[in-house]
Amino acid sequence: MGNDTGVEQTLVLLKPDAVARGVVGRILTRFEDAMLKIVASKMVWMDAELMRRHYFDLEDRFGPAVYKAMAVFMQSGPVLALVLEGVDAVACTRKLVGPTYPDQAPPGTIRGDFAHMSQAYANARGIAVANLVHASGNTDEAKHEIAVWFAADEIVEYPSAAERFER
């Protein structure tokens, strides 16, 4: 989208913990309830190359141990990749998802309601913080990540009921 209406697209991944726990439907309901529109979706088992492309700066930000733990976690099962569309969709989706570490994520957010792991616990065990969802951090990241995960013809245009009510 990317026009002056403020309508944006953002990339969401339901991570392997969300898929394995069978909470995909309940998480998707959160986005649908907020009238965010699903315009693309697919299930993917990540490989090392896609891991590098998606989390290209994670090793620089957190170091090799966290990157390795995340690579193990993200390749431990399939993810459900989605593109969501809506007004200020990037920020709105992050608001619904909540802060990175579930112990700090408030009730009402997906990470706060479906997990409680802390950064300290994950680091002490050398495991990834399993926090159910990835959502693009800003609009530039969203554009880049959507292109990493989806071809242009995999993003579908259709009228949603929400659009009848101007979202």
In the complex, the residues that contact ligand ADP under the rule CB under 6 A are 58, 62, 66, 69-70, 100, 119, 122-123, 128-129, 131, 134, 137
Q: CB 124 → ligand ADP: shortest distance, Å? A: 10
| Active site annotation includes 134 | yes
The one catalytic residue among 54, 116, 134, 144: 134
Q: Please, which residue, 126 or 156, has the CB nearer to ligand ADP?
A: 126
In contact, 40 and 120? CB cutoff 8 Å: no
**CA 74, chain centre distance (Å):** 12
Q: Which residue has the CB atom at the shortest distance from ligand ADP?
A: 100
Least distance between ligand ADP and beta carbon 14 (Å): 12
Taking the complex as a whole, the smallest distance from the CB of residue 54 to ligand ADP amounts, in Å, to 10
Pick the closer one to ligand ADP by CB: 57 or 157: 57
| CA dist., res. 52 & res. 123, Å (int) | 21
116-122: long-range pairs with CB below 8 Å, 24+: 122/69
Dihedral angle sign, alpha carbons of residues 46, 47, 51, 54: negative
42 forms bridges with which residues in the sheet? 81
Q: Which is nearer to ligand ADP, 21 or 167 (CB)?
A: 21
| CA–CA gap between residue 142 and residue 8 (Å, rounded) | 9
User: Measured from the CB atom, is 36 or 90 closer to ligand ADP?
Assistant: 90
Smallest separation, CB 82 to ligand ADP (Å): 15
Strands (DSSP E) found in the chain: 7-14, 37-44, 79-87, 133-135
Active site residues: 134
